[in-house]
Structure 1
């Protein structure tokens, strides 16, 4: 008996395989989750929103969008330029569905966020992946050279997940000058709160005066709301309208919206938590560099170990701590609780000693 055939775009994609949960939450360093619980006031606001779960949420997320305008210092922009979705990944899918037709090309660096090729294929687009430089950085010159008449969207992840380096402001400006305005450029800033490099590009500055630049951000990482699925896009108004058209109505619950609003109001606590993650990230990287590991610049809440063929074996050696292995390439380690981070550093030390 034959069954209906799924779209050919799914051939070879497989099913997304999230990291297996660790036996203890603190041991999970595979998903770039925040090691801290929700910020003060978040759980209470979210719980209160549960009381109206029999009603649909605010499909326009107006209170949150207005608050984001104040938080980001962009009140001068129309609130219509801010759109909220079920995580920045869902918003990326909405963007590609809005702009990519069969045969259109989507250009991005590789390796980068693993959702890019999946979202491109599902939108009917053609993947054009451009290798990273050896230091884990985007090769924007090569990406510009890869543009063709069929290019519709370019994705730039900064800091790059999973390798860690940022795109600098000067690099991005030069790149954007080479991109035709008919091509949409999406700046994925999921980890922007952790960036300390003063030369790093800032999406909100880069999009000024450019009609083809979109910025994606999320509450999943620095704000610790990964389980509630909420992110946002800042875009030119026409692009924002297109995103709204392709975004599923009522996709973001009132619980998630309430949690995000409360998180924005806990800015001082947020900054303190982010600073502690950054300090731990720098300490871990310094330790690894001292051991002789070529760790790329790290500007997110994670580190990249370029272990090549040994990646999967190293991930196994870290158990019960869970890290993310990309077979044949490297291992991404989320910055977590200091005690758990120390266990990973010990595993690296034990891993390297027999090979010295």
Structure 2
């Protein structure tokens, strides 16, 4: 029972859009089903990572190292940045929440492309800030000129998702440099690089060089995608020391678990083996995109581990047809569907489905 005499949440809480997670595959007798709805790495963890996690499990009765000292040191060495320029969180999505919380007052504006990562409007609304959505271009790319034009005196943060989830294209370094030249120095620019390891293009963004040359730029990255640790929730930000310190100040105490820290460190130690798997996924992505275009689909450039189908009012039908052949995709009602690059058999089924759906 609620009423004026019962506790009431802030008005913005009721306006928070729900996060829609990728559905698990439907179990179909006699058929292996595949989950292509969450951009997960289809490969199992490397043996060394599993062993590190198993060892860490033995201390689950103790709190994690709140300072994450070993992981910070490993990241500092791997990236060539000071420990003071790093901040950890439960996935890069946790960092997005913290950035908006740390830099926005209620009513301040956050500019981002749309459609883009669906957690952006959730994080912005949760902080009682105002989301300013700038439509992506027809080919799924960020309209950086329009985003720059959307910046006002109330803008505090701009989010640049590259590669863009769910449409797929990434911005170039030249495009990012031209954009940053238009952004006031007081505005924080977040370069969300959750899928950076999958980028294969001319003039890719060099995030580390960009952060080093701009005091208002922060990078967010994750171990969930290329590193295959989605179930452990580890993300990190690289930012000038004052920004990184603000993120650590609002971080959840003990947020990154002991096993997550151990898995991330072990993954960094085995990075060459992990990146071999990334190369295999990129090769599969190329095969899938080429197959879709041969079948008549005009899919955007894919620089993440997923492809985007612009379907409009056919989106639900496409998702249902995919489910019938044992693959589950991520539909965005009335807009399109994002399909992860998964196991070879799953990708084969997607290509067959795509050909049939075009008829």
Question: Is the contact between residue 26 and residue 337 of structure 1 (CA under 8 Å) also seen in structure 2?
Answer: no
Task: Give the corresponding residue for 1:258.
Answer: 262
- Report what 2:22 is aligned to: 19
Provide Cα deviations, 1:67-113, integer angstroms capped at 9, x if missing partner: 112222x1xx3211111111100011011110010110000000000
Map Cα deviations across residues 45-81 of structure 1 (whole Å, 9 max, x no partner).
0111111111111111111111112222x1xx32111
Following TM superposition, the consecutive aligned residue runs of length 4 or more in structure 1 with deviations greater than 6 angstroms are: none
Q: Is 1:312 matched up with 2:311? A: no
1:23-102 mapped onto 2 (5 Å cutoff): 23=26, 27-72=34-79, 74=80, 77-102=81-106
The yes-or-no answer on 1:154 pairing with 2:158 is: yes
1:7 Cα deviation after fit: 2.1
2:238 matched residue in structure 1? 234
TM-score computed with the length of structure 1 as normaliser? 0.96
1:139 corresponds in structure 2 to 143
Q: Deviation of residue 11 (structure 1)?
A: 2.4
Instruction: Note the C-alpha offset of 1:314.
Output: 0.3
CA contact (8 A) 1:40 1:266 kept: no
Deviations, residues 187-233 of structure 1 (Å, cap 9, x unaligned) = 00000000011312121121122110000000000000000000100
Residue 173 of structure 1, CA deviation: 0.2
Residue 200 of structure 1 corresponds to which residue in structure 2? 204
Provide Cα deviations, 1:271-327, integer angstroms capped at 9, x if missing partner: 210000000000000011111111100000000011111011100100131100111
Correspondence 1:322-341 to 2 at 5 A:
322-341=328-347
Distance 1:209 1:201 in 2: 13
| 2:134 matches 1:123 | no
Distance 1:110 1:297 in 2: 17
- Secondary structure in 2 matching 1:142: helix
SS in 1 for 2:159: strand
Paired residues in the alignment total 350
- Aligned partner of 1:4 in structure 2 is 7
Cα distance in 2, alignment partners of residues 267 and 14 from structure 1: 36
Listed one character per residue, the Cα deviations across residues 11-34 of structure 1 (whole Å, up to 9, x for unaligned) are 233432312211469600000000
Check conservation: 2:18, 2:122, Cα contact below 8 A. no
Q: CA RMSD in A?
A: 1.2
